Amino acid sequence: MSVPRTLLGLLQAQNSSHGYDLKRTHDELFRSERPLAYGQVYATLARLLKNGMVSIDGAESGDGPDRKLYSITDAGVTDLDSWLSSPEQPTEYLHNTLYTKVVLALMADRSAADILDAQRAEHLTAMREFNRRKASGDLADQLICDHALYHLEADLRWLDVTAARLAELAAQVKG
Over residues 74-87, the mean pLDDT reads 90
Write down the pLDDT at residue 59.
80
Kindly indicate the confidence band of residue 108, based on its pLDDT and cuts at 50, 70 and 90. confident
Over residues 71-90, the mean pLDDT reads 88
* Residue pLDDT, tens place only, 112-123: 999 999 999 999
Count of domains observed in the chain = 2
Write down the pLDDT at residue 92.
66
3-class DSSP string for the chain: CCHHHHHHHHHHHHCCEEHHHHHHHHHHHHCCCCCCCHHHHHHHHHHHHHCCCEEEEEEECCCCCCEEEEEECHHHHHHHHHHHHCCCCCCCCCCCHHHHHHHHHHHCCCCHHHHHHHHHHHHHHHHHHHHHHHHHCCHHHHHHHHHHHHHHHHHHHHHHHHHHCHHHHHHHHHC
Q: Are residues 101 and 142 in the same domain?
A: yes
Please, which residues bridge with residue 83 across strands?
none
Does position 79 have pLDDT exceeding 80, yes or no?
yes
Instruction: State the average pLDDT for the chain.
Output: 89
Are 106 and 112 a contacting pair, CB within 8 Å? yes
Q: Are residues 20 and 77 in the same domain?
A: yes
Could you say which of 85, 117, 145 is where a domain stops? 85
Residue 168 domain boundaries = 97-174
* Residue pLDDT, tens place only, 10-67: 999 998 999 999 999 998 887 766 789 999 999 999 999 999 999 999 887 767 677 8
The C-alpha atoms of residue 54 and residue 125 are separated, in whole angstroms, by 43
* Residue pLDDT, tens place only, 129-173: 999 999 999 998 899 999 999 999 999 999 999 999 999 999 988
Write down the pLDDT at residue 94.
57
Please, which residues bridge with residue 17 across strands?
70
Q: Are residues 80 and 127 in the same domain?
A: no
Write down the pLDDT at residue 91.
67
